[in-house]
Amino acid sequence: MEQITFFHPAKIVFGKGCVDQFIMDIEKEGKKNIYMLAVDALKDITANIKRKLETKGIKVSVNESLQAEPSFADLEKLKIEADSVNADAIVGVGGGSVMDTAKMLAAIVNTDINAKDYVGIGLLKQRNTYLACLPTTSGTGSEVSPNAIFLDEADMDKKGVISPFLVPDASYVDPMLTVGAPPTVTASTGLDALTHCIEAFVNKFAHPMTDLYALEGIRLIGKSLVDAYNDGNNIEARENLSLGSLYGGLCLGPVNTGAVHALSYPLGSKFKIPHGIANALLLPYVMQFNAKYQSERYAKVAAALGVEISGSNEDMAQKGVDVVFEIMKKCNVPLRLSEINISRDDFEMIATSALKVQRLLKNNVKEIYRGDALKIYENAY
**Region from 114-122, 155-163, 187-195, 213-221 binding Fe ion, contact rule CB under 5 A:** 187-195
3-class DSSP state of 38: coil
# residues near Fe ion by CB under 5 A: 1
Our CB check for Fe ion shows the closer of 52 and 103 to be 103
Q: How far is the CB of 183 from Fe ion (least distance, A)?
A: 19
Q: How many residues does the chain have?
A: 381
Our CB check for Fe ion shows the closer of 132 and 360 to be 360
Our CB check for Fe ion shows the closer of 88 and 192 to be 192
Our CB check for Fe ion shows the closer of 232 and 268 to be 268
Tell me 124's DSSP state: -
Q: How far apart are the first and last CA of the chain?
A: 39
**Region from 165-173, 192-200, 205-213, 340-348 binding Fe ion, contact rule CB under 5 A:** 192-200
Q: Which of 69, 192, 199, 372 binds Fe ion (CB under 5 A)?
A: 192
Residues 160 and 104: their CA atoms lie apart, in Å, by 11
Our CB check for Fe ion shows the closer of 192 and 372 to be 192
Q: How far is the CB of 111 from Fe ion (least distance, A)?
A: 28
CA-nearest of 67, 150, 63, 172 to 104 is 150
Our CB check for Fe ion shows the closer of 157 and 192 to be 192
Residues 202 and 290: their CA atoms lie apart, in Å, by 9
Q: How far is the CB of 140 from Fe ion (least distance, A)?
A: 6
Residues 363 and 162: their CA atoms lie apart, in Å, by 15
**Contacting residues for 117 by C-beta, under 8 A, at least 6 apart:** 123
> Nearest-CB residue to Fe ion?
192
Q: How far is the CB of 293 from Fe ion (least distance, A)?
A: 22
Burial track 103-130 (b if 16+ CB lie within 10 A, e otherwise): bbbbbbbeeebebeebbeeeebeebebb
> Is residue 27 within 8 Å of 56, Cβ to Cβ?
yes
Helical segments of 72-170, H only: 72-85, 96-108
**Region from 17-25, 185-193, 228-236, 358-366 binding Fe ion, contact rule CB under 5 A:** 185-193
Our CB check for Fe ion shows the closer of 19 and 193 to be 193
Q: How far is the CB of 192 from Fe ion (least distance, A)?
A: 4
Our CB check for Fe ion shows the closer of 100 and 192 to be 192
Burial class (CB in 10 A: 0-12, 13-18, 19+), 188: buried
Our CB check for Fe ion shows the closer of 222 and 319 to be 222
Q: How far is the CB of 330 from Fe ion (least distance, A)?
A: 21
**Region from 76-84, 171-179, 189-197, 215-223 binding Fe ion, contact rule CB under 5 A:** 189-197
Q: How far is the CB of 275 from Fe ion (least distance, A)?
A: 6
**Region from 109-117, 142-150, 190-198, 203-211 binding Fe ion, contact rule CB under 5 A:** 190-198
Q: For residue 80, how many other CB atoms are within 10 A of its CB?
A: 8
Q: Tell how strand 157-162 and strand 147-152 pair up.
A: antiparallel
Q: How far is the CB of 208 from Fe ion (least distance, A)?
A: 23
What are 130's strand-pairing partners?
89
The yes or no reply on residue 174 touching Fe ion (CB under 5 A) is: no
Q: How far is the CB of 195 from Fe ion (least distance, A)?
A: 6
Say how far residue 281 (Cα) sits from the centre of its chain: 16
Burial track 361-377 (b if 16+ CB lie within 10 A, e otherwise): bebbbeebeeebbebbb
Which chain residues interact with Fe ion by CB under 5 A? 192
